[in-house]
Structure formats: C-alpha cells, structure tokens
Structure 1
Amino acid sequence: MHFPLYIAKRYLHSKSSNNAINFITIIAAVGIVLGAASLFIVLSGFAGLKDFTLQFTSIVDPDLKAETAIGKSFFITDDELEKLDNLEDIVSYSKIIEDRVFIAFDEKNYPNAYIKGVDENYEKVNNIDSVIPLGSWLTQNTNQIVVGWGISSNLSFGVLDYGKRVSLYVMKPGKGQITSEKQIYNTFQAINVGIFDINEELNDKYVYAPFKFAKELLGYKDNQISAIEFKLKEGFNEEQARTNIQNILGDKVILKNRAQLNDALYKMLNTEYLAVYLIFTLVLIIALFNVIGSIIMMILDKKKTINTLFNLGATQKDIQNIFFYQGVLMTLLGGIIGLIIGVLLIFLQQTFAFIMITPSLPYPVALKAINVGIVFLTITVLGVIASKIASARITKNLVSN
C-alpha cells in the first residue's frame, strides 16, 4: 500500500490523546455529512418543484410545434398535408389558428385574450381533457368555446349559460374611412362549455374554439393557419422527425420542442437551480473550514511523530501527502454518508409523504442521478482544495525540528 495513504488511514481511525482535537474532528466530520445531505436534499426538492411546475405546461405543449417564420400565419398545401400524414415518426398533428381577441360578457370586457382555434385532432396531440375541471371539451363545427379559469373569473361567467352569450371581437384589416361598427370588428356569439385550469398565465390568456369558428372570426382563407402541433411516437428520434417535417414545410416555419416553447420558464428555473446550488455550496465551503482546522490541529498534535517519520527517511512531500490524504478521506467518507442519508430521506418523502404543501398535495421531490453526481463532485473538489491548503502548513522547518 502507498505509504502516505496507509498512515493517513491509520490517523483517520485513531483517536488523539487531546480530547479537544477529537472534538474538532467530530465537528468537522458532522459538518461534511450535514452539508452533503443538505445540498442533495435541496437539489432534489428543487428538481421535484421543477418537474411539478413543468408537468402543467407539458399537458398542452406538443412534442414539436411548427410556427410561422414570418408574420402571424402561413399557407399549407394539400400535398404538404399528405406528406405529413405519411411520416412514420408522427402519431398525429393538429392545425392551429391563433390571434388576439376581445371578449365581452354582461357589460364586462376582457381585452388580453387569445383565441386558439383547434381541429378535431387536437385531443390526440394534447391531453386537454385532463385539465378541464368544470364542463367539457368543445365540439367541432359549433360556436362552443372553452376558456381559462382566469378569463372566466374576470368576466364572471360559468358553463352552458344559454341565456347569455359570450361575445368575441376581432379587428378587421382594411383601409379608408369607418362609417359603422361592423366595419371595425368581426363579431361572433359563443357558448362557453368548459373551463380549463393549467397555470395562471395560460388561464388568463387562452380561449379554445373550433377550427372553423376561429377561421371565420379571424377571416382566414382556406389552408391558412398559424401553426401545426405534432405528437411523435414513443421512443422517437426528435432530430430525425424535425428534419423530416422541415423538409416538407420548408423555411416558412420554425420548429420548436417543449423546452423551446417554454424558453423563458426553463431559463428562470435553471437560474433558480444554479442560485440554490451556489448558496448551499457556500454553506458547504464554510463547513470545510472545520476540516482545514482539524487537519492543522492534527499536524500540531503529531509534531513529534512527523519528526520521527522524517528521521526515518520520509520526505517533506510524503508527510504533506499523509495529511492531504487524511483530509480527502474524511471529506469523501462524510460526503458518501451524507448522500446516503439524503437519498434515504428523499425516498421516504416520495413513499410516505411526510411533508405536505396542502392536505392532499405532498411536497414534490425527485431522485435524480445527476444530483448525486453534482453533490459528490462538489464534495470531492472542495475536499481536495481544503486538504491541500491544510497540508501546505507542513514546512521543512516543522518536519526537521
């Protein structure tokens, strides 16, 4: 066995004759264990919150979405649609018409909504039914709509109120002098048949409508659409599917996956993840100062032994390596124990839900191998640095006298 490593292992397991040094060593070891466990638990908790947040957007986000590259809409030919039907990677796709709309109901107005006209395939592409707690999904070729919870609350309407219709207004394009209100707006009367609940942003934004309804309201021509949403087969190759779709539709569209559709949300969550990691890494760095102090105290306590080793032929570098290895071993052992504790606590939370956000909603956590790797790598790097700093205190003068 390597001589410095052998001595380091002996020092790691042996007790000092000085109780104060033993106490400092125990504090250092406990600090590493708690630091590693805390970092892993926090990262796992944040990973759970991230997954919990993204699961709501993923319900209405397709695997791929083809958006217009220029303007608000583009034209798609029957030949292009036939080619999309023949792609093996695609389970289904839905044509979308989307634009801003003004909503009025019972003398109340809502100017910040967007109408989203969807065809009969939309339910095959997205699990929209699962986010409609009140009412039902719309029927094609009708004047039915499904609105978000925020819009419904702002305008104070429910579902299937046939006595009062919801009015939708869209500005007409055109030139010249305006002589009547009909020249300003396209207007349709609709019946709300469902209310969806996804997240605050989408609840306050979207009104779902049948494709034909939206087409007439917005004055779109045949084969004029805003986007196409795709559902891909299980185990799909996204890049291959993206290439195939792009070859058919050309440069008139831009293809985006879920992450790209929620770019701002992903950036925000990743920034918060990094901030949390840096904060708890700082806590871990503070805990590792105890390791430096422990090793320095051990060096002073073993001064006579160090001198004996030097006289027996050990070099200054060998003696430095002894205490360097001791610090690294202490850090790695404490980090592994902390990780085991952290993994166990996260597993128990997943299984038994000890911590609850609400009586029916446990605090979300996620066991991910990447978090284990991040914590272990962080502990290792910081442990090596701390051990190097402490072992550098061994000078030529110290080992020879």
Structure 2
Amino acid sequence: MFRPLSIFIGARYTRAKRRNRFVSFISMTSMIGLALGVLAMIVVLSVMNGFQREMSSRILGMVPHATIVGVNPIDDWRPVAAAAMKNPEVTAAVPFTEMEGMFSYKGSMQPIQISGIDPAQEGKVSIVTQHIVQGRLDDLKPGEFGVVVGEITARRFRLNVGDKLTLIVPEISSAPGGITPRMQRLNVVGVFKVGAELDGSMALIHMADAAQMQHWQPNQVQSVRLAVKDLYAAPQVSHNVATGLGAAYKADDWTHTQGSLFSAMKMEKTMIGLLLLMIVAVAAFNIIATLIMVVNDKGADIAILRTIGATPRQIMAIFMVQGTVIGIVGTLIGGVLGVIAALNVSELVGWLERVSGQHIFSSDVYFVSNLPSELQGGDVLLICSAGFILSFLATVYPAWRAAKIEPAHALRYS
C-alpha cells in the first residue's frame, strides 16, 4: 500500500511549513500530547511495579511462603522439616506457631497476630532479623514470655524495650460460657520495622511460650514454615510436601493469607493503566483533527496529484504516512523520556520537593523512604505498541476522506 511516492510525499508534508499556522500548531500539540501520555504511562506503571516489589519483599519476607500444618500439635517438627527439604523448591524449613489475640496496654487495646518462632532459625525464612530497630531477636527466651512488637504498635502504645503489656487470647474451656479469655503478661524485648502494615498487626514470641499458652508441651508446634525459591510455586510445593507426609498434615500458603492484597494491587495497576491509555488515545486521536485540517489545506495538491495519475490508494497512503510519522515520533519521544524519568524518579521527586518546598512523598503514609520504581521492558514495549497502533488507526478516516476528494471540485474552490 505504501509505495515510495506515497512515503516521499507524506514525509515531505510532515516537514513542510503550512499556509495555515494553526494546522502546524495542532500537529505539534498532537505529537507533544502523545509523548506526554506515553511518558506518564511508563512512569506511573514503573512506580506501581516498584511499590508492588517493595510490598512483596517486605510482606512476603515476614509471612510464611507456605506452612505444613499438623491436624494435631506436632510433637517433633524436625522429621517434617527434613521431609520438606527433600523438595528441591524448598530452601528452608523451621518450626512455627500462629495465634490471634489482643494487646492491652494502659486501657488501650489492639488486635494482634502472634507468631511463635525459634529465634535461632528465624533468619532462614524471614527478613525480621535485618529490621530490628530496638533490642534483639535473640532476647526471646523460652519461659520468659518476651515479645518483639512492630514499630507501629510500639508507637501507638508508646512502648520501649523493658515495658510490659498484656496479651489476651481466646481459650476454649468446659465452662458454660464455652470460650474464656486467657491473659498473659509479656515483656517487650525488641521492636522491628519492615515498613509495611505488618508493623502494626504482627508480634513475635518464642515458640515454647506459644506452646505453653496453648497448653501444649514446650517442644510442640502448630506447623513447619517453609521458604521456597518461586513464590508462585508455593501452593503446589506445600501441597506436594503435605501429601507426602500423609493425612495428619495439611498445606497452607501465602496466597490464602495475602493473595487478596496482591490481587488488588494487580487490578489497581491494570485499571490505572487503562485510564492512562485513555490519555494516550485522546492524544492519538488529535491526529484525526490534524489530518482533516491538512486535507482541507492540501485540497489543491490532492487534485493535482489525482490529475497526473495518483490513485485513491496512493492519496490515502500519503496522509496515513504523515499521521503515522507524527505518531511514531511522539511515541518514541515519550518512550525515551519515560524510560529516563522512570529510572530517575526518586531524584526527580527530591528535586520537586526542594523546588516547591513541600514534602510530596511521606514515608509515614507509604511505608517506604523514597519513591520506588521498577522499569519493566514488557510494559515499555506494550505502551509504545499501543501508541503506534492508536496513531495508525487515527489516520484511517482523514486519509479515506482525502482519497474521496474529486479533483474538479477541489480545483474549482481552491
């Protein structure tokens, strides 16, 4: 369809000065608008990728990738861990007990999820050892009922290492009430800060203390926590391990506990991407207005080309080339600037904060100290492809109108 003549004239029309300066202005704004739309999509999606990466590393670095849960308390967790480690996808297996309760301190209360751990082995499956900001994880000793709380919990209750608070957990009893609360005084031995909501909803105690609160033997645990190489393989890996161990064990994994959060983050990225695509579409379809004005401006040229033998297909191709060139240039400019901005977004935000004197990005709200960004080649390719396609589609109608112009009519009124 695009013969050399069409390409030559279409490219020349793109570069040539027009009699109507307003047409030139609209053409330039179409290109700039398309570039800005592509730039915005690349930067915003890269920032969302960065947030998702940060949340994944922080949340999934704290919660179990997978657990092998005993139908009854596990008397000896080591054989279970040894069986799990035979799976090549499993990188570590440690004892783990989990229960829900309520913190009470000076009249204030807060729901909390308690993890009973072995401090000596927790570093194999969790990032908490790297995020202790007060005290030490090793200060969790069996029988001493120490607790390591999150930074949000510590700030809410104004806790420091050495303070004591009360843990209230439900306890099934034979009394007429059925369930009665059990209270246990805990001594704060440490504070962790991973920069996620878990700082306000999770606390760590020694697994022996967790067992005692459940009226188990000191060496009994609820489950064995697994760390796996591929997070998305965790459901299958845990299922395979539990199946191999028999009916006394069942599998659980992060998709049950945190899956809704990551599904919501994925949907949020998709919806924002579609909204930003509308901006690109508006900019791309400005090319329609540009080309319609160009067609009206070049009516006499079209008539002359038709009289010397140019076919309607060639006329159509000329204006499709012109519109496509505008789209390609705008998309490429936006793509290059978008990649540069996405790779330097933290520096750009810092510069804007210095210039404006306003604190744009608060770590207290977003849990991270600087704006994260993760540029993904697939996103850039998809965005640029969308820009190219929308630009091309925007050329079809004006080019078709140009091809339908009758030479005699155009020359009569030019």
TM, length-normalised to structure 1: 0.83
Structure 2 vs 1, CA of residues 332 and 118 (structure 1 numbering), >3 Å: closer, same or farther?
Answer: same
Question: How many residue pairs were aligned?
Answer: 391
Equivalent position to 2:328, from 318, 329, 332: 332
CA distance in 2 between partners of 1:69 and 1:302 (Å): 80
CA distance in 1 between partners of 2:230 and 2:274 (Å): 37
Over residues 240-295 of structure 1, what are the superposed CA-to-partner deviations in whole Å (9 max), with x where a residue is unaligned? 845652443457433435x6642222233223323322332222222223311111
> Residue in 1 aligned with 2:134?
134
1:159-174 alignment to 2 at 5 Å? 159-161=161-163, 165-174=164-173
> Residue in 1 aligned with 2:66?
65
> Residue in 1 aligned with 2:384?
376
CA distance in 2 between partners of 1:323 and 1:177 (Å): 85
1:103-122 alignment to 2 at 5 Å? 103-105=103-105, 107-108=106-107, 110=109, 112-119=111-118, 120-122=120-122
> Residue in 1 aligned with 2:92?
92
> What amino acid is aligned across from residue 354 of structure 1 in structure 2?
W
Equivalent position to 1:262, from 240, 255, 258: 258
> What amino acid is aligned across from residue 174 of structure 1 in structure 2?
S
Structure 2 vs 1, CA of residues 305 and 177 (structure 1 numbering), >3 Å: closer, same or farther?
Answer: closer
Contact 2:165–2:187 at 8 Å: present in 1 too? yes
1:204-353 alignment to 2 at 5 Å? 204-220=200-216, 225-232=221-228, 241-242=237-238, 244-249=240-245, 252-257=249-254, 261-349=257-345
> Residue in 1 aligned with 2:412?
none
Shift of 1:330: 1.3
Q: Which runs of 5+ in 2 are unaligned?
A: 354-360, 410-414
Moved more, 305-314 or 204-213: 305-314
CA distance in 1 between partners of 2:244 and 2:81 (Å): 9
CA distance in 2 between partners of 1:394 and 1:139 (Å): 80
> What amino acid is aligned across from residue 203 of structure 2 in structure 1?
V
Structure 2 vs 1, CA of residues 302 and 103 (structure 1 numbering), >3 Å: closer, same or farther?
Answer: closer
Structure 2 vs 1, CA of residues 314 and 229 (structure 1 numbering), >3 Å: closer, same or farther?
Answer: farther
Contact 1:295–1:390 at 8 Å: present in 2 too? yes
CA distance in 2 between partners of 1:379 and 1:60 (Å): 40
Shift of 1:335: 0.3
Q: Does 1:30 align with 2:26?
A: no
Shift of 1:10: 2.6
> Residue in 2 aligned with 1:19?
21
Structure 2 vs 1, CA of residues 387 and 225 (structure 1 numbering), >3 Å: closer, same or farther?
Answer: farther
> What amino acid is aligned across from residue 384 of structure 1 in structure 2?
F
Q: In percent, how many aligned pairs have the same letter?
A: 19
Q: Does 1:396 align with 2:404?
A: yes
Query: Cα RMSD between the aligned structures?
Result: 3.5
Q: Give the match's secondary structure for 2:401.
A: coil
Contact 1:332–1:380 at 8 Å: present in 2 too? yes
CA distance in 2 between partners of 1:136 and 1:11 (Å): 72
Structure 2 vs 1, CA of residues 14 and 400 (structure 1 numbering), >3 Å: closer, same or farther?
Answer: same
Contact 2:171–2:180 at 8 Å: present in 1 too? yes
Q: Which runs of 5+ in 1 are unaligned?
A: none
Structure 2 vs 1, CA of residues 19 and 156 (structure 1 numbering), >3 Å: closer, same or farther?
Answer: closer
Contact 1:92–1:121 at 8 Å: present in 2 too? no
Contact 1:101–1:169 at 8 Å: present in 2 too? yes
